[in-house]
């Protein structure tokens, strides 16, 4: 039987004890303790998510943590900046992706860019936009 798990269902207790010392798992542990009150679902993707979901070792010493945040509601820029500051203070490198109902984008780029438009990954390809929660023909309104 095939079992599906969402990123928000993958947490450090699923990791083998012998693997928890790896930097990516230490970073996950840090985020788990610092994001307790976050009112959006999140979890690991990439090699950490794969290993936690499958039990098959995939994380290496130099692996970063792919962080996936589900944001069905608009994330205000100040909220994104606060979240990025906390995430970027984690002990290891974090690649943070935000997923909206319409697209995905880099939390770092959204929180730190001075440009009006950021790269949005949509089902139709990559486009530049400034509002990932309201797209119209690749542009936002």
**pLDDT at residue 32, rounded to an integer:** 95
What does pTM read for this prediction?
Answer: 0.89
Whole-angstrom Cα distance, residue 4 to residue 91?
A: 29
Q: Report the catalytic residues.
A: 64, 66
Q: Phi and psi at residue 86, in whole multiples of 5°? A: -70, -45
Structural domain spans, the chain: 7-112
Q: Per-residue pLDDT tens for 113-135?
A: 877 899 999 999 999 999 999 98
Q: Per-residue pLDDT tens for 22-75?
A: 999 999 999 999 999 999 999 999 999 999 999 999 999 999 999 999 999 999
Left (φ > 0), alpha (ψ -120 to 50) or beta: where does 119 sit? beta
Whole-angstrom Cα distance, residue 41 to residue 39?
A: 7
Whole-angstrom Cα distance, residue 82 to residue 35?
A: 12
Residues 6+ apart with CB under 8 A from 90: 27, 30, 31, 34, 65
Residue 37 has what DSSP assignment? T
């Amino acid at each position: 039987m095939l079992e599906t798990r969402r990123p928000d269902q993958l947490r450090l207790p699923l990791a083998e004890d012998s693997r928890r010392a790896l930097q990516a798992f230490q970073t996950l542990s840090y985020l788990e303790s610092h994001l307790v009150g976050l009112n959006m679902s999140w979890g690991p993707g990439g090699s950490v998510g794969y290993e936690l979901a499958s039990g098959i070792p995939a994380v290496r010493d130099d692996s970063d943590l792919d962080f996936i945040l589900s944001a069905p509601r608009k994330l205000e820029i100040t909220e994104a900046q606060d979240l990025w500051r906390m995430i970027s203070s984690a002990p290891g490198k974090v690649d943070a992706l935000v997923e909206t109902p319409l697209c995905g984008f880099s939390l770092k780029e959204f929180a730190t860019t001075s440009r009006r438009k950021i790269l949005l990954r949509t089902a139709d390809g990559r486009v530049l936009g400034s509002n990932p929660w309201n797209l119209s023909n690749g542009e936002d309104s």
